[in-house]
Structure 1
Amino acid sequence: MENMIWDARYELTALIMLILFLVFYQLQRSLPLKKNRVFMGMLVAELSCILWDLIASYISTWHMRYPTWMLEISNMLYFLFLISVYYLFSVYCRCTARERAADPILRWWQLRVPLWFAIAVLISNPWTKAIYDVSRENGYVRGWMYYYLIPAILILYTVISLAFVLYYRKYLSIREKGGLYAFVICTMLTSMLQIYFFPYLLITNIGLSTGVAINYLAMQNPEFDKDRKTRNYNLEGFGRYTSEQLRMGKEFQCMAIGFANYKTLLSIYGSQKMDRLLNRIGIRLRNHYNHAVTFYIHNGRFVLVFPRHIEINPIETELIAYFDRNFGLNKDVLQLNLRLAYLYADKQIKKPFDIGESLEMALDDACRKEIYQLKVVDDALMEKLYREREYHRALHDAIEKDHVEVFYQPIYDSKCELFTMAEALVRIRDPKLGLLFPDTFISIAEKDGTILGLGKIVFRKVCRFIREHDLDALGIQAIEVNLSPIQCRHRFLAEDYLKIAEEYGIDLNNIVFEITESATVGVARMGKMMQQLQKAGARFALDDYGTGYSNMINVMSLPFYCIKIDKSLVWSYFRHEDWILPKFVQIFKDDSLTIVAEGAETKDMTDGLIEMGCDYVQGFYYSKPVEEKVFLEFLKSHNETRKE
C-alpha cells in the first residue's frame, strides 16, 4: 500500500462556495418544514465533510508530525460525514415524496440501516483496518475493504434516492426531477472518479457542492414558498406546512385575517397602493408574532399558525386594536374592516385542505356580517364544507357523465293571456344526492371555471329542444338562457355559442340570453359579445334587477330589450316593505323596455303585477320549473285550452 499525496484545490473551491451558500440560505428564512431542515442538515454535513477532508488530507500528508489518533479520528469523521450527506439526500428525497404521497416505499428505520452499519464499521476500523490504515510511518493507506464497502454504501443510498424519484415521478414537476437527477449525477460522477481513477485528486466534495447548488435552484429556493407582495409565506407553503403538521400528529391553531371592504378599497385605490399596505401589514404580523408562522393567502387575507399552547384571546384583542385605526397611503387615508376566523386543528381533521377551505368559508361568512364577530370553525361549518365538496364532486360527475338536465319554467304573457316564453334552468340529477338545484352548484362552477362547460351543455340541450319541437305550434316565442358573469367575461363566448347553434341548425331568433346585474359592471367587455350574438338574432334581458349590483346607466348603455325584476323586489312590495316597484316599472316602460316580473306566487300578486304594467309574469303561481316532458304537457293543456 502506497502513501497518498492529495491535491486539495477543488476542495478549497468547494469550501468557499459552500460557506457562501450556507450563509445566503440561512438569511433567506425558509419555511419550517422537515424537508427544509434536512436540506440544511445536508449543507452542514457537506461543510463538515469538506473541513474534515482538508484536515485529514493535511495531517495524512504530514503524518510524521501528528499522533496516530489524530489521523484515525480525522479520517473517521470525513467518511462519516461523506456517508451522512448521501444518507441525508435519500431522506430529502423521501420528504419530497412524502409531501405528495401517503405511504413512502421505505420507512425511516430502513433508511438508517446502512448508516448504522457504516458507523459500526468506522468505529471498529482501528482494529479491523477495513476502510483505512494509519500510522506515523506510512500515514494514510486504503484498507482491504475500502473499494468494496465505501462505494457500495454510496451507491446504495444513491439507488434508494433514485427509487424515490422514479416511484413518485408522477407527483414531481420536471424542475424537481431535474434537480434531483442533477444531484445524483454530480455526486456519483465525482465520487467514483476519485475512488477508482484519481485517488489523489479531492473532487468528491466539489461534486456534492455543485449538486446541492443545482438542487437549490431547482426546488429548494425559499422564495418558492413566499408571496412577493408581503414577503410572508404563500398559499402553497400554507398547504405544505399544515399537511406536515397533521401527518406528524401535531395540534395547532390558525387565526385567519381578512377585511370585509378589501375589494372595495382595491377598486378605489388600485393594486399598487393596496400591495404596499399589505406589505406593511405582513411585516407587522411577521415581526410581532414571531412565535407564529405567517402566511399570505390571497385577496388581502393572512393566516397566523400558532402552537397549541398559545393563548389566542390576547392575540385577537391585539389584532382588533391594531386594525382599529386609519392607515395612511401617501395622501390617502383608509380604514380596514377587520374580520377574523379561528380554527383549532386537531387529530379529527383528516385532510389538510380542510383547513384552508374551512378558514376561507369562515372568513366569507364573517365578511358578510355588518359588524365584527370572531368566526370559529365548528362542526356545523365543517359539515357545510363537506356538503359543498359533495356538490363539487356531483358537478364534475354531471359534466363528465351527462347528469345535467334542463328544466323549463313557463312565463305568462299578460297581453295575449298565453304562455309565450319559458326560462331554461339547469339541474343536476346525481345518483347519490338526487336532484340538485342551481344554488347548490353554480357558485362552485363559477369558482373553478366549470361554468363555461356547464353553460355550453345547457345551451346544447336548449338548441336540441328547439330543433326537435315546433315552438310556434307550442305557442312559445322565445326561450331564455342564463349567462353568468364569468361566462360573459369569456373572450370566445359568442363564437362558441354561434357554432353550437349552427351545429343544431337553428337561428337565435328564439333565444333570449339573460344576463345578471352583476355582469353589467364591465360594460365595455360586454358590448362586443352582445353585438355578435345580436347580429345572429339573439335578444338580451337584464336578469335579477333590484339585487343591488348595477345602475340605470349600465342598463341604458347595453342593448337590453327586456328587464326581469328580481323576486326580492316583488316580494318586498307585496309585503308592504318597499313601494319602489311601480316606479321602476314606469321608468322602464317609458323607455320602451319589456318588463318581466319574477316571483309571483299568488293570484293577488299576479293581478297586481299585471295591473302595474308588467308585460310578463313568472312564478310558482303558474308553474315551478319542470322537466321537458312535463313542460310540453303543461303548454298543450294551458295554451291550447286558452286558444279554444
Structure 2
Amino acid sequence: MLRQKRRSTVSVLLKRSHSNMNIQAQICGIILLVIMFLFYRRYESLRLNTQIGFQALMLCMLLCIFLDMLSIWAIVRLLLDHRGTVYVICKAYLMSIVLVGFAGFWYECTDVYEDKKKLRQVAVTGGVAWLSGCCVIAGLPLGIYKMGRVVYTAGPAVMVTYFFTGMFILVNIVFTLAKRKQANYRRSQVILSWLALWFAAAVVQFFNNELLLVGYAGALGVLVIFFRLENPEYLADAVTGLFNQDGLLLYARKLYNEKKPFSLMSIWWNLGISQADEGAREQAVMAAFARRLPKLDNTRVFKMADDEVWMIFEDMEHVEDTVEKVRSFVEYGRRELGGMAQAAFTYMPDAAMVGDYQEMVHLMRYARWKSSDHSATNFKEVDFDFVEQMRKEKSMEQMLDEAMKEDRIEVFYQPIFSTRAKKFVSAEALVRMRDRDGNLVPPGAFIAVAEANGKILQLGEIVFEKVCRFFTKEQLEQYGLHYIEVNLSVVQCGYPGLADDYIGIMEKYQINPRYINLEITESASMAAKKTLLENMRRLMEYGVCFSLDDFGTGQSNLNYIVDMPVDIVKFDREMSQAFFQDEKAKYVMNAAMQMIHGMKLKIVSEGIETEEQYLAMEELSIDYIQGYYFSKPLPEAAFLAFLQSRQ
C-alpha cells in the first residue's frame, strides 16, 4: 500500500518489511482469496451483475497481493543484478492498487445499475481512467530503496498512485452515499466498511512501515463481502441444492432488465401429507426431484416453497419440447410416490406478456390460487385473457386498500321481518365500497379479492366497528331492533384473534353484546372448525349469538347445525326460490324446516321478493323473512328513515 516518506518532501509508498511474519500474512491473504474463489466456482452461478462484479474484485485483489509479495522478493533478491526487472514489477504492483480501487467502484455500480449498457459505460469510463493512471505511472520515475529489513518505493510514480487510488475510493464513497436509496443498503454498508478497513490498514502501515497490512486487510475486506453478501449458498436451497426464491427474484429481474425472452413454469405437488409429517416427506420428494431431474440446457430451476418449484426456460426455440420432457419426468415420479401424490403445472409461454418480474411472480401466485384441483393432467397455460383478469383483480385490490384508508367503506342494512311479532326486529349488515367518483362497487368484485389477500380481516373489523358505532349512536333498540347480523368470512372464522378483536371493539363502543349476531357459513366451519369453535365459545360467553348463514349451499348441511352452537339458521336465496320452482326442493325444505324447529332453532328465509312468497313462508311458520319484498339493503340514513316509517 501507499505511504508518504517521512523526510523533507519525498513521498514514500509501502515501506515494506521482509520479516517472516509479514510474508506469512501476505500468503494467508492469497490463500484466503484462492479458497474463496474455488469455493465460489463450485456452485452454479446465475451470472448476476453483482456476482460478476464480485469475481472481478476478488481476482484484482488476488493479483494485487501477489504483485505485492513479488515486488518484495524482487527488491530483496534482484535489485542489484536485475534492476530493470524490479522496476517493472514494482510499477505493475502500483498499477494493481489503482485497479483494485476501480474494481471496488465497479462492484458497487453493478448493484445500482441493472442496465448492461450503463454498466459498460461505467466500465469504459473507469477503464480509461485506470489506463491513464497506468500510463502516467509507467512514464514517471520511481525510486526503489532497501535499508536493512525495510524496503520501499518513492517518487512521482508513487504520488500518482496515491492520486488515482484515492480518486476511485472517493468516487466510490460519494457514489455509495448518493445512490443509497437505489442500492442494496446492506451492500452499501459492507462496501463502505471494506474501504474503511483498507484505508485504516494504510494509515497503520504508514506509521509502522515494518507491518505489511494493506494487502492482508484488502483480502479480509473481500472475505467480509463474501460472507455478508456473495456467499453462493445464500441463493441455494440447503435441502435440494436448487436455487431458492431469492435467486428467482434476482434472476428474473436481470432477464427483464436485459429484455431477454424466456418462459416460466411452476410445478407444485399435493402429497396428501398430514401435519405429523412435519414436512419430512415434502423435503424427501423435493430432494429426489432435484437429484433425478435431467440436465436441461438453458434452464434454471428454483425451489419456491416446500411443495413447489419454478423453472425458467431461455431456449425459446425448443421450449415446448423441454416442457413436455419435464411433465413426463414429473408424471413418472408422481406414480412412484403413489396415488396420494398429485402434481399441477402453470405455464407462461412468454414472460413478455407481463411488465416486470414482480408482476410475473404475482401472476404465477394468482394462477396457483385459481387452480382448485390437483391432478397429473392439471396443466394451466397462462394467456393474455388470464393476465388481464389478474390485472383487474390487482386493480381491485389497490382500490380496496385505498377505500379502507380513505374511509370509503360503507355498511348497508337489509331489514329482517318477524312473522310472529309482525314487525322488523333485526337487519343484516352488508359491506359496500365506493370508488373515488362516489359510485358503488359490487361486493362480489372486491370481497373475493379481500379474502384472497388477507385484507378481509381488516375489512371485517371496519364493518364491525361501523355497525357497533351506528347501533350505539342511533340507539337502534328504540326502533324495536333486537340485534344486527354481521357476516364472518371463511378467513375470519379461521383467525385465532377474532374473539379478542371483536370483544375489544364492542367494549370500545360500549354496546350490549346481545345486540350482535355473527353469521358463519358452512364452508367456514369446515375449513377451520377448531379455531372457529374456540372463537364462538369466547364470544358466546361474552354474550354474542350466532347464525348459520347460506344453509343448503355448503357441505354436510344438517350435520353443521348439530355441531355448531347457533341460534338461527338462514335459508339462502337459492334454497328459498327453489321451494317455489321445484317440487323436490319443497319436500327437502319442509323436512329441513321441521328438523331445525325440532332443535328449537329459529329460521330466516332470504331472497323473498313477492307477497305470494312471503305468505307461503309465513304459512310454513318460518320465523323471519328477508328480501326485496320488504326492502333492498339501505345506507344508514335511509335505513333509519325506513325504521321510523314502518315501526
Pair in the same fold by TM > 0.5? yes
Q: Are the structure 2 counterparts of residues 44 and 552 from structure 1 closer, same or farther at C-alpha, using a change threshold of 3 Å? A: farther
Give the superposition deviation at 1:277: 1.6
Equivalent position of 1:166 in the other structure = 177
Q: Is the 8 A contact 1:182 1:214 kept in 2?
A: no
Give me the whole-angstrom Cα distance separating, in 2, the residues matched to 1:466 and 1:553: 34
Residue in structure 1 matching 2:394, options 373, 389, 392: 389
Residue range with higher mean Cα deviation, 518-527 or 397-406? 518-527
Equivalent position of 2:100 in the other structure = 85
For the residue of structure 1 that corresponds to 2:311, the secondary structure is strand
Residue by residue, what CA displacement relative to the aligned partner does 1:587-611 show, whole Å, maximum 9, x if unpaired?
4333223233444456666566556
For the residue of structure 1 that corresponds to 2:398, the secondary structure is helix
For the residue of structure 2 that corresponds to 1:624, the secondary structure is coil
Residue in structure 2 matching 1:540, options 521, 546, 556: 546
Residue in structure 1 matching 2:52, options 19, 37, 46: 37
Q: Is the 8 A contact 2:240 2:290 kept in 1?
A: yes
Matched, 1:120 2:132: yes
Residue range with higher mean Cα deviation, 294-303 or 361-370? 361-370
Give me the whole-angstrom Cα distance separating, in 2, the residues matched to 1:548 and 1:121: 78
Give me the whole-angstrom Cα distance separating, in 1, the residues matched to 2:306 and 2:607: 35
Residue in structure 2 matching 1:476, options 481, 489, 493: 481
Residue in structure 1 matching 2:200, options 173, 177, 189: 189
Residue in structure 1 matching 2:219, options 185, 191, 209: 209
Gapped regions of structure 1 (runs ≥ 5) = none
Give the superposition deviation at 1:353: 0.9
For the residue of structure 2 that corresponds to 1:257, the secondary structure is strand
Residue range with higher mean Cα deviation, 421-430 or 174-183? 174-183
Residue in structure 1 matching 2:641, options 606, 615, 633: 633
Give the superposition deviation at 1:162: 2.9
Residue range with higher mean Cα deviation, 19-28 or 76-85? 76-85
Equivalent position of 1:246 in the other structure = 256
Residue by residue, what CA displacement relative to the aligned partner does 1:439-487 show, whole Å, maximum 9, x if unpaired?
3333443444433332222112111211132434433222111223333
TM-score normalised by the chain length of structure 1: 0.85
Q: Is the 8 A contact 1:114 1:153 kept in 2?
A: no
TM-score normalised by the chain length of structure 2: 0.85
Residue in structure 1 matching 2:316, options 309, 317, 342: 309
Give me the whole-angstrom Cα distance separating, in 2, the residues matched to 1:517 and 1:76: 82
Q: Is the 8 A contact 2:521 2:554 kept in 1?
A: no
Gapped regions of structure 2 (runs ≥ 5) = 1-9
Q: Give the letter aligned to residue 11 of structure 1.
A: Q
Matched, 1:591 2:599: yes
Give me the whole-angstrom Cα distance separating, in 1, the residues matched to 2:309 and 2:578: 39
Matched, 1:557 2:569: no
Equivalent position of 2:242 in the other structure = 232
Give me the whole-angstrom Cα distance separating, in 1, the residues matched to 2:492 and 2:137: 73
Give the superposition deviation at 1:207: 1.1
Residue in structure 2 matching 1:452, options 452, 457, 474: 457
Residue range with higher mean Cα deviation, 245-254 or 439-448? 439-448
Give the superposition deviation at 1:354: 1.0
Q: Is the 8 A contact 1:481 1:514 kept in 2?
A: yes
Equivalent position of 1:51 in the other structure = 66
Q: Is the 8 A contact 1:180 1:215 kept in 2?
A: yes
Matched, 1:11 2:26: yes
For the residue of structure 2 that corresponds to 1:62, the secondary structure is helix
Q: Are the structure 2 counterparts of residues 516 and 283 from structure 1 closer, same or farther at C-alpha, using a change threshold of 3 Å? A: farther
Q: Give the letter aligned to residue 35 of structure 1.
A: T
Q: Is the 8 A contact 1:343 1:359 kept in 2?
A: no
Q: Count residues in correspondence.
A: 628
For the residue of structure 1 that corresponds to 2:350, the secondary structure is strand
Give the superposition deviation at 1:242: 1.3
Q: Are the structure 2 counterparts of residues 333 and 86 from structure 1 closer, same or farther at C-alpha, using a change threshold of 3 Å? A: farther
Q: Give the letter aligned to residue 317 of structure 1.
A: E
Q: Is the 8 A contact 2:137 2:160 kept in 1?
A: no
For the residue of structure 2 that corresponds to 1:324, the secondary structure is helix
Give me the whole-angstrom Cα distance separating, in 1, the residues matched to 2:75 and 2:91: 12
Q: Is the 8 A contact 1:523 1:554 kept in 2?
A: no
Give the superposition deviation at 1:200: 5.2
For the residue of structure 1 that corresponds to 2:429, the secondary structure is strand
Residue by residue, what CA displacement relative to the aligned partner does 1:130-155 show, whole Å, maximum 9, x if unpaired?
xx45799x999635334533233333
Give the superposition deviation at 1:36: 1.5
Q: How does 1:369-388 map to 2 (within 5 A)?
A: 372=377, 374-388=379-393
Give the superposition deviation at 1:16: 1.3
Give me the whole-angstrom Cα distance separating, in 1, the residues matched to 2:81 and 2:437: 80
Q: Are the structure 2 counterparts of residues 110 and 21 from structure 1 closer, same or farther at C-alpha, using a change threshold of 3 Å? A: closer
Give the superposition deviation at 1:336: 1.1
